[in-house]
Chain A
Amino acid sequence: MFSRKLLLMLTSFLLVFAFSFSAYAENVIKLGCAISFTGSKSRTGKLYVDSYKFAVDKVNEMGGVNVNGKNYKFELVFYDDKSDPTESARLVEKLITVDKVDFLLGPYSSGITIPSSIVARRYRIPMIEGGGASSKIFDKGNKYIFGTLPRAGDYFRSTLEFLTKQDPRPEKIAILYADDKFDVSVGEGAKAIAEEMGFEVVEFEKYSEGASDFTSAITKAKKAGAEATLVAGHTEEAINFIQQSKELNYSPNLLALTVGPSEADFRKALGKDANYIYGVASWSAEMNFEGTLFEDTQAFVKQFTDKFGYDPDYHNASGVADVAIYKDAVERANSLDPQKVRDAVAATSGLKTIYGPVDFMDNGQIIGSSVVLQILDGKVRQVYPASGYDAVYPMPEWDKR
């Protein structure tokens, strides 16, 4: 296990170099991508790297992209942005000016996507990204950025909708969110939606990204009698939050987290304490959509798991969709001209992908929705909208799990 991981890592580094130095070949469409191979975002960054590669291989296997009767292969050019937004912007510039890539794939996380999307606009090269959902990426009038994660502000809409359907319907809700760009959008959006739906938001608190201590926040939520707690943060914070809720014996009817539940190391780190925790995602492996690259979602999940040895989550599906959108758009544009391809991407209409049908809003963000997940018996299940698994609500007390 250990040496396999090491090997994978070395391979990815080698690939970085291999791709960086490969000579320009005929009939190739270069997709450039600066993404986090190292640093704090590398864990999730890797999911996108895997997906981009997986989808590109699939496109090439299927004969590539047809432009003007000629077949083109996709070629990926990767750089490591070291999880640093400034570095990312610099590398995207390098991809455009030195490597002369045709189009761009996005990095992971909203904070890194913002500066690199601005570089894309400056050079008028379209960028499709699957890893940033903050409204701050899309409200700048940037015509060259397209995102396949749904609006951050809507993330918890499905969860809140789910709550209105419970009997008795909970009244008091606590919302906690990290102070990075994405989670601020999620938190503020959730508060607006909750109030619109008639919930009382008894605690609305921002914490610093990477915080490890939630005891004050949990104590407050407990004291305020919050029946449901929504947390918008990152994996490590999510694990901390659950552990400390248990330590302080805080057991609301529903505990929902944005990032965490759908990730394997969250479940591994928490063991049985992860059970019954709610999550939210723009996609789940239980869904079934027909796709252009893969027959359907289930076929994709199977092939992906066979190849990479882990279950794909919404990050992976979103990344695969990005590549599918390029193939579709380039073929419709019937040209490699960045401007024409950009227009074709914007005009994408109901494109079938294993991630769901793709349409973009005017600001470049996908028109999508999120589903409610719950960990049942160590597995992530979609519980709302109904998919055959019944939600356990309210969550059992900690000592009854």
Chain B
Amino acid sequence: MLTQILINGILKGGLYALMAMGMSLIWGVMNIINIAHGSFIMLGAYTTYWFFTLYGMDPFVSILLSMVLIFFLGFFIQKYIINFVIGASLFITLLLAFGIEILINNLALLFWTADVKSVQVTYGGANTEILGAVIPTVRLLAFLLAIAVSVILFIIMNKTWLGRAIRSTAQDLEAARLNGVNVGNIYSITFGIGTAVAAAAGTLWAVIFPISPTMGGHLTLKSFVVTIIGGLGTMMGPLVGGLSLGIVESLGTNWFGSTFENLISFTILVLVLIFKPNGILGKKE
């Protein structure tokens, strides 16, 4: 029983980590809390749904396509909309992101209706049993893919010129500019990467859960909690935050009941803010 609960938690945590990764990146580099993050996850999920329904494309293949598509969407939204408020007060950026969220969600409601949809892959209900615990195959695949995407992102951020440019922009804007980094471009690319990772999370979400245009709000909240718990400014933050949240939620709902899921998430959030204000892995200011 306990093994099963832990496995449920870890598998869920992997998905949380991936969801939060994009938000953490955008927040860390641009100091924008992207309230619309969940909407990009939703768009990723719907892209997958349509590729699957119209062309029969397997979600684990179409994940690349949805990432590319949503990358460009994010890139252009940053370049032509968000760019105007870069450096403005937090309140203004929040407001803009909020507006983008409302716009995306309502367009989705208009075009795709509020009907609940789901991606029915043939291996949907398959599972393997190890030591009396059931491991659902899709969740395991989604978990592994989440880890893979995180690792790739980690390598990009640490080993490539682009990654170094992004990080230096986050650390010291002036110094980055002096060294020939085109900050405007870097912002757009970062936002694009952030939304592309959100789309990846959306794809995996669609494989496991049913989707609807209003699914994003709840996921924004979860990503936010994970980002704070893990700590900003480190690539490992979302991973640690996601896994901790997944496991604690699983154990907590088991002990106290499912109705307290959100209470548990936010209690952890408050505890982390009190005892480690910069998150579990966050650096001291």
Q: Which residues of A contact B (CB under 8 A)?
A: 2, 5-6, 9, 38-40, 42-43, 176, 179, 205-208, 210-217, 219-220, 223, 235-236, 239-240, 243-244, 246-249, 265-266, 268-271, 273, 398
User: Are the CB atoms of B116 and A265 closer together than 8 Å?
Assistant: yes
B258 close to chain A: CB less than 8 A: yes
Nearest A residue to B218, CB-CB: A210
Nearest A residue to B205, CB-CB: A212
8 pairs from A and B in contact (CB 8 Å cutoff):
A38-B106, A39-B214, A43-B116, A208-B260, A217-B258, A243-B124, A269-B118, A273-B124
Contacts A206-B257, A247-B127 given: A43-B111 contact, CB under 8 Å? no
Q: What is the interface residue range for chain B against chain A?
A: 35 or more
How distant is the Cα of A216 from the Cα of B120 in the complex, in angstroms?
A: 23
How distant is the Cα of A40 from the Cα of B125 in the complex, in angstroms?
A: 27
How distant is the Cα of A206 from the Cα of B260 in the complex, in angstroms?
A: 9
* CB-defined contacts of A240 to chain B, threshold 8 Å: 209-210
Q: Which of B35-43, B134-142, B165-173, B267-275 contacts A (4 or more CB under 8 A)?
A: B134-142
Q: Which of B82-111 contact A (CB under 8 A)?
A: 106, 109-111
* CB-defined contacts of A212 to chain B, threshold 8 Å: 209, 218
Minimal beta-carbon separation of A258 from chain B (angstroms): 15
Q: Which residues of B contact A (CB under 8 A)?
A: 1, 4-5, 8, 12, 106, 109-111, 113-118, 120, 124-125, 127, 129, 134, 136, 138-139, 208-210, 212, 214, 218, 249-250, 253-254, 257-262
User: Are the CB atoms of B250 and A248 closer together than 8 Å?
Assistant: no
Minimal beta-carbon separation of B143 from chain A (angstroms): 13
User: Are the CB atoms of B125 and A273 closer together than 8 Å?
Assistant: yes
User: Are the CB atoms of B118 and A219 closer together than 8 Å?
Assistant: no
Minimal beta-carbon separation of B265 from chain A (angstroms): 11
User: Are the CB atoms of A219 and B116 closer together than 8 Å?
Assistant: no
How distant is the Cα of A6 from the Cα of B5 in the complex, in angstroms?
A: 43
User: Are the CB atoms of B258 and A247 closer together than 8 Å?
Assistant: no
Contacts A220-B254, A247-B134 given: A215-B8 contact, CB under 8 Å? yes
- The listed residue (A40, A207, A265) touching B261 by CB distance below 8 A is A207
Contacts A38-B109, A235-B116 given: A211-B261 contact, CB under 8 Å? yes
